[in-house]
A and B are shown apart, each in its own frame.
Chain A
Amino acid sequence: GQSLEQPSEVTAVEGAIVQINCTYQTSGFYGLSWYQQHDGGAPTFLSYNALDGLEETGRFSSFLSRSDSYGYLLLQELQMKDSASYFCAVSTGGFKTIFGAGTRLFVKA
């Protein structure tokens, strides 16, 4: 089967750094994406890693280790508006994208 595992909830305080992990087991792998979704909204793209290493985009960074089937999203200088659900997603060898169940991030003042 194909599966992505990520924590269901994470809580952090404003200004802090939080890391959301994702491990995957899929029949094929092209790359790992991260999406943010606020309540009632649609998912919005944050980052994509096809190769091992760290990708940085402003306050957000994403890391991939293909040998470990593992990646993470790092959010720095947390703001209240970062409270949302975060999904990792694998682009498989076909045309399919498999999403994890999501990590709900609560940012406290």
Chain B
Amino acid sequence: DTGVSQDPRHKITKRGQNVTFRCDPISEHNRLYWYRQTLGQGPEFLTYFQNEAQLEKSRLLSDRFSAERPKGSFSTLEIQRTEQGDSAMYLCASREGLAGYNEQFFGPGTRLTVL
């Protein structure tokens, strides 16, 4: 257990439905990342928060994806009008803001299945 939690751990939904995932990072970590991982691939960067500010968002991310970190603590990732291609593991990671220090602590992930 890294101290990063994600909820739910599994989500099965029908195509076209909206889903929302939650990530609770390690409390003193001001930096938070969302990734998507499919079988046999590495994590694919989705977005990055520093405190409550979303400073980077992948150009691969369609407008159906949105993320928030309203008080600089927990974060949510919402996918609207889900498609079968959205089926993947969604990972959240957090880290401290120290310069030159780059260890990201990953949560257990939310596995999304779109039927």
Contact = CB atoms under 8 A, between A and B. Distances in A.
Interface of A: 4, 30-31, 33, 41-45, 48, 50, 87, 89, 91, 94-102
B34 to A, nearest CB: 11
Contact of A48 (B44, B45, B102): B102
A96 B43 contact: no
| Most B CB within 10 A of own CB, among A41, A95, A98 | A95
Contact of B43 (A41, A94, A99): A99
Contacts of B25: none
Interface residues of B, number: 26
Nearest to B45: A96
Interface of B: 2, 33, 35, 40-45, 48, 50, 55-56, 58, 91, 93, 100-109
Contacts of B107: 42
B46 to A, nearest CB: 10
A59 to B, nearest CB: 18
7 contacts: A33-B103, A44-B2, A44-B106, A96-B45, A97-B33, A99-B43, A99-B44
B43 A31 contact: no
Given A101-B42, A102-B40, A102-B42, A42 B100 contact: no
Nearest to B1: A42
